[in-house]
Amino acid sequence: MLHIDHHLVTLVNVFGNWTYLILFAVIFIETGAVIMPFLPGDSLLFAAAALAAASTNDLNIWIFVILFFLASALGDSLDFFLGRKVGLAITDNKYLSRFIKPKDFEKAHRFFDKYGSWAILLGRFMPIVRTFVPFVAASSDYSYQKFVKYNVSACVAWVVLCCGGGYFFGNIPFVKEHFSAVILTIILITLLPAIIGVIKTRFTSKKDEA
Contact 124, 27 (CB under 8 A): no
Q: Is 206 exposed, middle or buried (0-12, 13-18, 19+ CB in 10 A)?
A: exposed
Contact 103, 75 (CB under 8 A): no
For residues 108 and 104, give the distance between their C-alpha atoms in angstroms, rounded to a whole number: 6
Kindly give, in sequence order, each residue whose CB lies less than 8 Å from that of residue 60, ignoring residues fewer than 6 positions away: 52
For residues 112 and 88, give the distance between their C-alpha atoms in angstroms, rounded to a whole number: 15
Cα 172 to Cα 77, 169, 185: the distances in Å are: 36, 5, 16
pLDDT tens for each residue of the chain, 210 residues long: 445 656 787 888 888 889 899 999 988 988 877 666 566 677 788 888 888 887 666 789 999 999 999 999 999 999 888 888 776 566 666 555 555 666 666 767 777 777 777 888 887 877 777 778 888 888 777 889 989 999 999 899 889 888 888 888 877 777 766 666 666 676 676 666 656 665 666 666 555 555
